[in-house]
Structure 1
Amino acid sequence: MPEKLDSQARRLLERNADMTILPSHVLSPESARKTLNDLLITDESGESVGEVTDWKIAGPSGGVPVRVYRPGGEGPFPIIVYFHGGGWVKGNIETHDDLCRQLTNETEAIVVSVDYRRPPESPFPAALEDCYAATTWAAKHAEHLDGDSEQVAVGGESAGGNLAAAVSLLARDRDGPTVRHQLLLYPVLDRDFSRDSYREVGDVGLLTEANMRWYWEQYLERDIDSMNPYAAPLQARDLSNLPAATVVTCGWDPLHDEGVDYAERLAEAGSSVTLIDEPDQLHGFLSCPDVIDRADEVWAEIASDVRDTFRQ
C-alpha cells in the first residue's frame, strides 16, 4: 500500500481489497455497471435539498433523462450541468445522487444531473452530444427552472470531467450556450498512457492503467478518435476563449499529470484557473466524504471557487 497516501485513503483501499471488488477491465460492461450500482445505490437518503425533479429532455437520439436539484431559498440560482463519472461506461443518475445533492448545497446552485448514453452500446460522440443537449436545454429553460441563464456552468468527475471539458469546447466552437465555469474533478483528458502518473500508480488504486485502457476501448470505436479534441481535450490546439475552471487532481491517480497539464494550458490561453492538487489523495476521493475527511474540505474550496466565478 503506497506510503504517500493519506491514512484514510489507504484504509479505503484496504477495505476494498478485503471486499474483493473486481476491477472493471475484467468484467463485462453490464457486470461493471452492476458492481458500481451495488456500491453506490442504497436505501439511505442523501442530503436534503430544496426540491428534486426528474425530466426527460429532447436529445439528438431520443429523450435524455435529467434530474434537477434545486437548493432551498429564493432564486434565480446559478445552474451547474453535471456529468457523472464511471469511465463513460458505468454510473447513472442514481449512483451520483448523493454527490449532486452535496454539490447543490455547497454551491447554492441548481444542479442538472445528466443520464447520458453510455458505451459500448453508444460510443463517442453519443455521450458528449447528450451532455451538450442538456447544457443547451438548461440555458434555454433557466427561467422555468428558477435559474439564471447567464450563470451556467458544467462539471463532472473523471469521465464526467472529460465531458465537461469537451462541452465547453463544443459550446465555444458551435457558438452555443455561454458556459461561465467548468468544474473538472480528476478529469480524463487524453488517451496517453506514457505519463509518469500512470507508471507511478501502476495497478494499485481505485483507477489503474488497465481500467483506463478498457474504458477508452469502450468509448472510442476508432483509434483516430483519440486525436479528436472533443474526445481528448488535451488534443485541442486552441484553448482560448474557454470558461474559468476549477481543476482537482490527486497524487495517487493515473490521470494526475494530464489534469495538471490541462490546467496549465487553460491558464496560458487566458482562462482563470484554480488548480486544487491533492498529493496524498486518490482518484475518486470526493465521493467518499464519510470515509475521507479531506473530501469535505475540498468540496468547500470547490464551492467557494465556483461561487466566486458566478459573482464576477
Structure 2
Amino acid sequence: MRKTLLGVLLLILNAHYANAQAPSINDVRQAIAGEIYGFNIQGQKVESVQNIPVWTGADTIPVRVYSPSKNNALPIVFLIHGGALVAGDLNTHDNISRLLANKTGSIVIALDYRKPPEAPYPVGLNDCNTVLEWIVKNAGKFGGDAKKLTILGDSGGGLLAAALVIKNAAAIPVSNLVLINPALDLRNPGGGLYGMVTQLYLGGKPANDSLISPLVASNFSVFPPTLIVTSEKDVLKPHGDQLYEKLTQAKVTVKRVDLAGKDHLGGYWAAGHAEAEEAINETVRFILKK
C-alpha cells in the first residue's frame, strides 16, 4: 500500500536527522508534490478555468477560478490548500478544486499564498485575506454569488481558513466553513517535522494569537455553520475535536466527521483519491445542505 503523505515526510525527516541535519524546505515540498502527482489521477474537466493575478498593492497573488457551468449567481468555494504550512500550490490541489466545482455546482477559487520560510506569518494570511476581499468585490464578474460563500481549508490551510473567519467576523459574512484535518494550535508543536514547519511559519512570533492558533480565540460564536473532518489516526485530530467542542458550547451549527482507521488525508485529499472519498462526499453534502 502506498505510504501516506505523513509517512513520506517522516521517512525524509528521519533520513536527514540520522545524518544530523534537518530536511530542506525543498525536500518537504518535493515530497508533498511528488506524492500527489504520483497517484496519476486525471483531473476532471470543468466548464472553464481561469488563472488571474490578484493585485496586493505591491505584488500579485496567483489565483485560479474553476467554473462548473455558464450559469450566474453560483455558490462560491474559496479553497485554501494545505501542505505542512510550507508547501502546496495551485497545481498540487488542482484535482480537488475541479472535483468540488463539479460536485457542488460552485465556482471554486484557489490561491497560491506565499509561504515560509521565505514569507512567514502574517504574509500567507494576508494573501488569503486579500483574495477573500477580492472575491466579495468581484464575485458577479465571474458568475458567483458572494452571499453564498464557503471557505474551505485542509491541514495547514485549515488554520488559515479558521483565522480568516476570526479576522473578518464583523466584515464579511461567510455561509459555511469546511475544515479537513485542520491544524488549529501552534503553541506546543513539539519536535520533528511539525515543530520545524511551525517555527518557520511563526518566524519568531509568539503563537498565542487567535490568528495563529485559532483555538485560543475568545469568541467562537462568530463562526458560521462548520464541518470538521478529522481522521482517527491523525496527530492533528485533537485540534478538530477541541474546535468542535468550542463551537458546540458557543451554539454554532457544527458537524464533526471522524474517519475511522484513517490517517492525515494530505495528498489523498488534494488528488481526489478514493481514500478521501468519504471526506469529499461529506464536504459536498454539507455545502449543498443535504
The alignment's TM-score, normalised by the length of structure 2, stands at 0.88
> Is 259-268 or 11-20 further displaced after alignment?
11-20
The Cα of 1:168 is off from its aligned counterpart by: 0.5
Match of 1:22 among 12, 19, 25: 12
> Is 209-218 or 118-127 further displaced after alignment?
209-218
Aligned equivalent of 1:234: 215
- Establish whether residue 212 from structure 1 lines up as the match of residue 194 from structure 2: yes
Aligned equivalent of 2:269: 286
Please state whether the residue corresponding to 2:53 is helix, strand or coil: strand
- State how many pairs are aligned: 281
Structure 1 portions without partners, runs of 5+ = 1-10, 199-208
CA distance in 1, matches of 2:7, 2:151: 34
Structure 2 portions without partners, runs of 5+ = 17-21
Q: CA RMSD in A?
A: 2.6
Query: Any residues of structure 2 matched to 1:107-122 within 5 Å, and which?
Result: 107-122=104-119
Aligned equivalent of 1:203: none
The alignment's TM-score, normalised by the length of structure 1, stands at 0.82
CA contact (8 A) 1:246 1:306 kept: no
CA distance in 2, matches of 1:212, 1:15: 13
Amino acid at match of 2:240: G
Amino acid at match of 2:44: E
Query: Any residues of structure 2 matched to 1:69-108 within 5 Å, and which?
Result: 69-72=66-69, 74-108=71-105
CA contact (8 A) 1:241 1:270 kept: no
CA distance in 2, matches of 1:115, 1:95: 10
Distance 1:19 1:230, change over 3 A: closer
Match of 1:160 among 157, 161, 168: 157
Please state whether the residue corresponding to 1:308 is helix, strand or coil: coil
Please state whether the residue corresponding to 1:122 is helix, strand or coil: coil
> Is 42-51 or 139-148 further displaced after alignment?
42-51
Deviations 1:147-168 (A, max 9, x none): 0021111111000010000001
Distance 1:252 1:288, change over 3 A: farther
The Cα of 1:36 is off from its aligned counterpart by: 2.3
Query: Any residues of structure 2 matched to 1:165-204 within 5 Å, and which?
Result: 165-172=162-169, 175-193=170-188
CA contact (8 A) 1:136 1:176 kept: no
The Cα of 1:60 is off from its aligned counterpart by: 5.7
Match of 1:34 among 15, 18, 30: 30
- Establish whether residue 256 from structure 1 lines up as the match of residue 253 from structure 2: no
Please state whether the residue corresponding to 2:262 is helix, strand or coil: strand
Query: Any residues of structure 2 matched to 1:270-281 within 5 Å, and which?
Result: 270-281=251-262
CA distance in 2, matches of 1:86, 1:214: 13
Query: Any residues of structure 2 matched to 1:42-57 within 5 Å, and which?
Result: 45-57=42-54
The Cα of 1:297 is off from its aligned counterpart by: 3.0
> Is 82-91 or 12-21 further displaced after alignment?
12-21
> Is 115-124 or 61-70 further displaced after alignment?
61-70
Aligned equivalent of 1:7: none
The Cα of 1:19 is off from its aligned counterpart by: 11
